[in-house]
Amino acid sequence: MDWYLGNHWYLFLLLLLPLCGVLMIRYTRWSRKKRSLFAEQRFQESLFGKRHAFTKLLPALYLIAVFFLVISIVDLLQGSEEIETQQKMNNVIFLLDVSNSMNAQDVEQNRLVQARNIIIQTMNEMKNDKVGILVFAGEAASIMPLTTDFTAVETYVSGVETNIMKMQGTDFLKAIETAAFKFKNVAKGSRKIVLLSDGEDNEGNEKAAIRLAKREGILVVSVGIGSEEGAPIPEYVFGQLMGYKTDMTGQTVISKRQTAALRNIAEHTGGTYVDGNNLENAVLQINDALNRTSGSALTTVKSQNAVHYYQYFLAVSVFLFLIIILFNPKGGFNL
């Protein structure tokens, strides 16, 4: 519960308390002095009546009542309500392959653009979920932690290019290791990955990646992008096409989608393999696979409506003023 002041400027009214205290003391002394001038001490009781013990408490009661009245106006204890609820939600990290082979143009525009579009369209169908973005090639790096801010995620994803990673290649193990670290505060069984790649496993770490994912309780939905016939890999310098990647013999390298590793990772972790060449079908299958095993998470929801407590202070103030009225021997608010 967060506590804060409501009408905090009214706290200046508390400065009136010392002033009221001084005035009441001076009034009491002035009243006694006038009585002494009017008649001797031995005649005062018969003239003015016996001084009641309750009148000695009146100044303190007045000050306390006014204090609680001011606090009720200030609304000192104003908090927001917190409720723990059990919600169905996914914690999903998109692993986006940014190796140079993702520039191949055997799908509309190229493989990387297709992968980015799949991520964005998939997020548009997600509700009450947290998503994060991790890019990988020969190494892996997180560009967006788990968040519900899908607009920010879309902005980051739209700007991803293959030159974002210096070390090229495709290392599934590095990608899963980085994702597992990002999942450290998420319960096992609620950890999900959407792996988007053309499947070229240059490092041969597929089995190690599967073992790690199973040990960490991570479900992997793998998405294969690219054609089996393949396409050459464009090479760009400052955004300009300079040619196509060649091997040591000078032959143009043809990059083909390799589905075996992607299928194995998905099947051995309880996930699903999805053909990513058709955007609409891929989005439907990914969301279906994610929602099929949505985890329940205990979430603390903070209400936007403030909870006010001024009524309790006001009640104390009214109660004290009623005591003054009912028990004051002089009647009303007379001192």
The 3-state DSSP class for residue 310 equals helix
pLDDT value of position 86: 56
Residue of 64, 70, 74 lying closest to 320 (CA atoms): 64
pLDDT value of position 249: 87
CATH superfamily for 85-299 is von Willebrand factor, type A domain (3.40.50.410)
Provide mean pLDDT across the span 100-123: 93
Is 333 a residue whose pLDDT tops 70? no
pLDDT value of position 82: 56
Is 145 a residue whose pLDDT tops 80? yes
The 3-state DSSP class for residue 226 equals coil
DSSP structure string for 162-174: GGG-SS-S--HHH
Q: What is the pLDDT of residues 32-53, one digit of tens each?
A: 777 676 666 665 556 555 556 6
Average pLDDT of the chain, as a whole number:
82
Cβ partners under 8 Å of residue 328, min gap 6: 54, 55, 58, 334
pLDDT value of position 317: 86
How much is the pTM?
0.63
For residue 12, name the pLDDT band (cuts at 50, 70, 90): confident
Q: What is the pLDDT of residues 77-88, one digit of tens each?
A: 555 555 555 556
CB 213 within 8 A of CB 269: yes
Distance between CA atoms of 212 and 188, rounded to whole angstroms? 13
Which one of 103-107, 126-130, 242-246, 297-301 scores highest in mean pLDDT? 103-107
Provide mean pLDDT across the span 267-279: 94
User: Amino acid identity of 38?
Assistant: F
Is 13 a residue whose pLDDT tops 80? no
CA distances, 235 to each of 82, 163, 164, 207, 252 (Å): 54, 11, 14, 31, 11
pLDDT value of position 306: 61
Provide mean pLDDT across the span 1-16: 65
- Cα 261 off chain centre by: 35
Where in the chain are all domains bearing CATH 3.40.50.410? 85-299
Is 99 a residue whose pLDDT tops 70? yes
pLDDT value of position 67: 83
